[in-house]
Structure 1
């Protein structure tokens, strides 16, 4: 069992603006293990960034308790570290942002070196460290380029190298791929995954895209209106989302919503035969290896016309989804549905033939 590196307990964050009181975060508790890639997902204004900023105390909570590693950093309404200890703690928590926050007048090398300005390393050691970091993020050949000469993905790589300069144990990514195109996003996510493995880095991803969570996270928390509404492993959340918002995020990430619009316009669905049903099948793990549709044809003479299929690997587990038209005699159709459910497949009837 890996050790806990971030423990947020009953965090409240309240802002007072003129005559308004804004409860940005309400009684949120989160446990993040060392080596996790932990996604916090929600729409704008959900409180994600505000919550995550308490990890390095850039945002002081109104109430709650914060433990980073084995050190309590906030409790009983106050910060538990003196300014020097707080500075030291913050050095172990790197941050990357949507808009890179690079200094335009400095080269990639100088931007990374800037993060080492308070370091105890000698000039020569700093130079070596910067070269190693640029090599690590795949930008050794761009060390002397200014931000204006770099693509969005390259700028984000410089920002990641800078965030790693003080050997952090935690890297916070605040919508760091939102300004990037899909191909570059995948490259940056692959880099973060690689750094997580190579350096044992714990990554906290703030995002409004469940696709990103699906691609690299092992755990996910869903936030809405300042509250944490659902939390679990990515496999659990994708297989059995409980909250309406989570279900909405997942439908967008899997593309099933878009597919359903097209499926519903197909003749086979619009003019569905009386002895047919349109069904959605969801399955995970060993079930994906079973020829279930083949089996129900042999046993019940129920045919399956597959209109949509998707299979992915989440946390090393295959997870799949099918939309099918099942056709057969009424009793056989009922028996076939029962057999599918007994095989561990979640079955939802979307439409019945008239």
Structure 2
């Protein structure tokens, strides 16, 4: 197992606002391992951006303990590093944002070079590094273009190159794809995944879209009202979300929410006859290779009408779900339920005739 690179212990962040105390982060503990692509998900106001700003102490916590790469950053109410040491440590943590934060009067190359201002490299070494970074993000031919001449995806690639200028061990992405169209979002996520694998970067993804996490992360934390409500591997969270908010996120990300809305409008579902039931089946790993529908008919004399199906790969493991109408006698349906569960298939009855 990879070693921990970021350890947040009982982190709390409170603000005084108009004679009130606002708790932005409430006793959150997380361990992020080296090489993780770690998603932190929540709606606006959940506290996720505030929590991640604690990692490089752009936001000083009110309480708790922070350890980054075996160095204690914060403990017992105080920052444990000198101002100089903190500046040096921050160079090891790159950040990219939703709106790119590029300087409009500087070219792509100059924007990247700006991050090397205090690096101590010679002019020639800086120029070579900028060239290599722009090549790394696929923008070598755009070095002399200004931000106004670049698309949103290209601007974000410049911002990523700039964030990598000081060879960080950690890259924080704060809603970095929110301003991009779906196709460009997938391209940027693919780039981040490649950088994670090629450079061994630990990436923290802050987002309000579980789809983003599903596409790229290996672990995920879900936040609500400043609290951590669920945390685990992407496979575990998607296969078995325990919290209601997490289930809502999952249903949106997998498309099941929209599918169910349409399914419930169908005449055959609205007037489900006796001996039929609408069920949601979920399966992962070895269960995805089983002939589930065929077995229902063969072993239990239950027929299945498939209304929706989806299968995808999460962290190298196939995960699937089906919405079906099962038809049979009460006894055969009961036996089918037991057989499905025994095969590792999750079953939820949505409606009975």
TM-score relative to the length of structure 1:
0.99
CA distance in structure 2 between the partners assigned to 1:320 and 1:185 by the alignment: 24
Structure 1 segment 178-197 matched on structure 2, within 5 A:
178-197=178-197
CA distance in structure 2 between the partners assigned to 1:32 and 1:299 by the alignment: 46
SS of residue in 2 equivalent to 1:206: strand
4+ runs deviating over 6 angstroms: none
Aligned residue in 2 for 1:301? 301
- The structural deviation recorded for 1:121 is 1.0
Question: What is the RMSD of the two structures over their aligned residues, measured on CA atoms?
Answer: 0.8
Aligned residue in 2 for 1:240? 240
SS of residue in 2 equivalent to 1:241: coil
The CA deviation string for residues 19-54 of structure 1, in whole angstroms up to 9 with x for no partner, is: 111011111011000000000000001100101001
Q: Which moved more, 1:326-335 or 1:25-34?
A: 326-335
- The structural deviation recorded for 1:300 is 2.0
Aligned residue in 2 for 1:342? 342
Aligned residue in 1 for 2:41? 41
Aligned residue in 1 for 2:212? 212
The CA deviation string for residues 271-320 of structure 1, in whole angstroms up to 9 with x for no partner, is: 32211111110111100001021012111221111000001111111111
Aligned residue in 1 for 2:252? 252
CA distance in structure 1 between the partners assigned to 2:261 and 2:296 by the alignment: 27
Uncovered stretches (5+) of structure 1, i.e. residues with no partner: none
- The structural deviation recorded for 1:98 is 0.3
Aligned residue in 1 for 2:280? 280
1:268 matched to 2:268? The reply is: yes
- The structural deviation recorded for 1:329 is 2.3
Uncovered stretches (5+) of structure 2, i.e. residues with no partner: none
Aligned residue in 1 for 2:3? 3
CA distance in structure 2 between the partners assigned to 1:197 and 1:188 by the alignment: 14
- The structural deviation recorded for 1:159 is 0.2
Aligned residue in 1 for 2:151? 151
Structure 1 segment 52-71 matched on structure 2, within 5 A:
52-71=52-71
CA distance in structure 1 between the partners assigned to 2:330 and 2:172 by the alignment: 55
1:127 matched to 2:127? The reply is: yes
Structure 1 segment 85-234 matched on structure 2, within 5 A:
85-234=85-234
The CA deviation string for residues 97-139 of structure 1, in whole angstroms up to 9 with x for no partner, is: 0000000000000000000000121111100000000000000
CA distance in structure 2 between the partners assigned to 1:299 and 1:58 by the alignment: 61
TM-score relative to the length of structure 2:
0.99
SS of residue in 2 equivalent to 1:172: strand
CA distance in structure 2 between the partners assigned to 1:62 and 1:349 by the alignment: 46
